[in-house]
């Protein structure tokens, strides 16, 4: 059954005879009677080229991922939580393609280490190149063509990995497709076809919708080999397999069986790369056949081989440069610091980067609140979304991952029950993730629900990376004094409401006001109220709250509140009640300089061209003036 791309066996026999004649002539000239010594360099040269290609793929992809693209490891490690348990395993064995996802999650659990992540992906890209070299050998591809297309296969898969939504199991699925295709064409015996037909239901169970890519590959291979019965039999087997799994095993609808676990195009900003990759696999035999028709002189083959592979890697670098997104990388740096509760790191990164991303600004405000400096540094970062950077709105048009990040607002201000509800909803909709399990443990410990907390702790105990964290939480079970003495949990206990009230998802400001009525000592909620007024430019409401600062335990007026008070005095004719506190001389001097700058700009009528000094860009006045 192997496809003959370079003519009939007779032609190959003539070429072999001509080669043998050349060898004999060469032996006579050199006096060497040992055929093996003459033939050996040819085979070693081929093996050398293949080893060089494998090494090149492994080194270039591994280094690039480690140096430039390591943010994908953080995202994908937090995207799912691999748990060593029967319950977790059962989620995947009940649906075709589930085991591919399970295997991918198993390998991705080590992504907390960037060296591991870069190495395992580089190995997979190299493995794909090796498989295609073997496929090309079965297709009688000339060595130059073989190396070129093997390098192209790895390059296409590597380009897809530039998107952080391309997960580990997507790589495994395509590698299994290539392996099964290689197995299918490795023999032209009839029993091999029978074995392939018998194994296809198992292959479909293992890979799910990836089996359709294999079907495309084998159908075009068979048609070019003038085999028509076998692909028809294979399609019949595939249809029976789908119906059988739908009837006896999977609860998925037919639409799910036909597309799971293939990635959806909506996950990619450039989905046409996905179509190119699928097309490369499906039409692979046709591509090889097309190149085989091009007859190239032997003296040009080595040059073509070298420049062909260089062209692939040059194209790969070009595409990577187009796909490289500095803003996305910066965002993941901020999110990584946030997840690790490195509040100083979040603040430092956002103030340096000035990300225009809504979630990055939201994280920044959460970090400020956790450090009790929300009203001192709110405008040291961009605030481009008005009050949405306080609480991400519940909107069906917003990505579900972005919506569920709203849980941190409730946790930060002390609405623990609402934070627990959001974390639970995240677990139901998105599955086990490190963050939702961690938040479920925290909220249950704070609320004293130790039995339920223990259940979630056991989930973390059965993971690779979070066992030590689970053991820390386990020591707090049934020990309320340990929970209260914990710096994080103790602070949240003191922020909780003292009376019940309904939480309104679409009214974050209303929740803040209700929380303050229930617990008037909640300083985090009070600062969020002031921040809300500032972002709404509610100067009147803001200045009326200044008199309450001393009652809330403030010994000085926060910087941005001072700026609001000075603005009110100068522009609204009202001097706010400072409640026994005073405005610093530094803020007064800075405001005087800012007013002078504005007056100078108005006189010179050069407002658009004037460079605003950096010390004014972080003031509430600039926010009011700019917006």
For the chain, domain boundaries: 46-323, 330-516, 539-626
**How many angstroms from the chain centroid is the CA of residue 475?**
33
What span, in angstroms and rounded, lies between the C-alpha atoms of 168 and 21? 51
Residue of 559, 513, 506 whose CA lies nearest to 532:
513
Please report, for residues 70, 161, 288, the alpha-carbon distance to residue 65 in angstroms, rounded to integers and kept in the order given: 6, 9, 30
Per-residue pLDDT, averaged over 491-519, amounts to 93
Per-residue pLDDT, averaged over 533-544, amounts to 94
Q: Which residues, 6+ apart, have CB-to-CB distance to 62 below 8 Å? A: 118, 119, 121, 122
What span, in angstroms and rounded, lies between the C-alpha atoms of 46 and 474? 58
Residue 36's pLDDT is what?
A: 40
What span, in angstroms and rounded, lies between the C-alpha atoms of 104 and 173? 9
Per-residue pLDDT, averaged over 527-532, amounts to 97
From 110-124, 213-227, 603-617, the region with the lowest mean pLDDT = 603-617
- pTM score over 0.85: yes
Could you give the percent of the chain with pLDDT greater than 90?
71
Residue 605's pLDDT is what?
A: 64
CA atoms within 13 A on the CB side of 76: 29
Residue 305's pLDDT is what?
A: 66
User: Residue 392: is its pLDDT beyond 90?
Assistant: no
Residue 35's pLDDT is what?
A: 40
Residue of 370, 391, 368 whose CA lies nearest to 378:
368
What span, in angstroms and rounded, lies between the C-alpha atoms of 285 and 212? 16
Tokens of 492: 């949240």
Per-residue pLDDT reduced to its tens digit, 304-328:
667 777 888 888 888 888 888 899 9
Res. 594 pLDDT band, cuts 50 70 90: very high
What span, in angstroms and rounded, lies between the C-alpha atoms of 161 and 118? 11
Residue 45's pLDDT is what?
A: 56
């Amino acid at each position: 059954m192997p496809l003959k791309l370079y003519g009939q066996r007779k032609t190959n026999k003539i070429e072999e005879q001509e080669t043998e004649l050349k060898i004999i002539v060469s032996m006579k000239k050199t006096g060497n009677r040992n055929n093996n010594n003459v033939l050996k360099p040819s085979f070693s040269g081929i093996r050398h080229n293949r080893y060089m290609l494998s090494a090149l793929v492994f080194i270039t992809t591994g280094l690039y991922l480690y140096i430039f693209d390591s943010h994908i490891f953080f995202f994908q490690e937090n995207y799912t939580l691999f748990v060593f348990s029967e319950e977790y395993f059962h989620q995947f064995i009940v649906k075709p393609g589930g085991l591919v996802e399970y295997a991918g999650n198993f390998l991705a659990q080590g992504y907390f280490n960037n060296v591991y992540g870069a190495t395992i992906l580089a190995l997979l890209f190299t493995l794909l190149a090796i498989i295609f070299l073997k496929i090309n050998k079965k297709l009688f591809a000339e060595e130059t063509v073989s190396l070129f297309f093997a390098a192209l296969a790895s390059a296409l898969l590597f380009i897809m990995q530039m998107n952080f939504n391309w997960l580990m199991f997507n790589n495994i699925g395509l590698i299994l497709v290539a392996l099964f295709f290689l197995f299918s064409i490795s023999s032209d015996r009839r029993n091999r076809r029978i074995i392939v037909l018998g194994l296809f239901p198992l292959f479909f169970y293992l890979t799910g919708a990836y089996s359709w890519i294999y079907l495309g590959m084998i159908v075009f291979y068979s048609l070019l080999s003038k085999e028509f019965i076998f692909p028809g039999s294979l399609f019949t087997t595939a249809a029976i397999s789908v119906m059988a799994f739908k009837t006896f095993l999977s609860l998925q609808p037919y639409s799910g069986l036909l597309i799971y676990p293939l990635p959806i195009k909506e996950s990619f900003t450039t989905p046409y790369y996905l179509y190119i990759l699928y097309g490369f696999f499906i039409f692979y035999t046709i591509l090889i056949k097309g190149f085989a028709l091009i007859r190239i002189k032997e003296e040009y083959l080595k040059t073509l081989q070298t420049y062909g592979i260089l062209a692939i890697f040059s194209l790969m670098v070009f595409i990577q440069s187009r796909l490289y997104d500095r803003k996305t990388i910066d965002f993941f740096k901020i999110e990584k610091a946030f997840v690790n509760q490195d509040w100083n790191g979040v603040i430092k990164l956002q103030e340096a980067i000035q990300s225009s991303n809504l979630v990055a600004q939201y994280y920044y405000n959460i970090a400020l609140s956790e450090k009790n400096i929300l009203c001192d540094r709110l405008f040291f970062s961009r605030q481009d979304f008005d009050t949405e950077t306080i609480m991400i709105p519940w909107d069906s048009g917003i990505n579900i991952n972005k919506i569920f990040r709203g849980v941190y607002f409730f946790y930060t201000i002390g609405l623990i029950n609402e934070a627990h509800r959001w974390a639970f909803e995240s677990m139901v909709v998105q599955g086990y993730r490190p963050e939702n399990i961690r938040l479920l443990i925290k909220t249950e410990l704070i609320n004293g629900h130790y039995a339920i907390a223990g259940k979630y702790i056991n989930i973390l105990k059965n993971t690779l990376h979070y066992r030590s964290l689970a053991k820390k939480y386990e020591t707090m079970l049934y020990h309320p004094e340990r929970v209260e003495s914990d710096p994080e949990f103790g602070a949240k206990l003191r922020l909780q409401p003292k009376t019940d009230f309904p939480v309104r998802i679409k009214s974050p400001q209303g929740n803040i006001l209700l929380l303050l009525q229930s617990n008037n000592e909640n300083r985090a909620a009070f600062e969020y109220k002031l921040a809300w007024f500032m972002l709404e430019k509610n100067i009147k409401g803001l200045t009326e709250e200044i008199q309450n600062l001393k009652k809330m335990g403030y010994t000085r007026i926060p910087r941005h509140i001072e700026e609001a008070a000075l603005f009110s005095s100068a522009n609204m004719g009202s001097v706010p009640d400072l409640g026994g506190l005073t405005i610093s001389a530094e803020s007064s001097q800075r405001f005087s300089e800012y007013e002078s700058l504005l007056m100078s700009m108005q006189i010179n009528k050069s407002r658009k061209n004037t460079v605003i000094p950096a010390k004014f860009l972080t003031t509430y006045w600039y926010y009011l003036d700019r917006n």
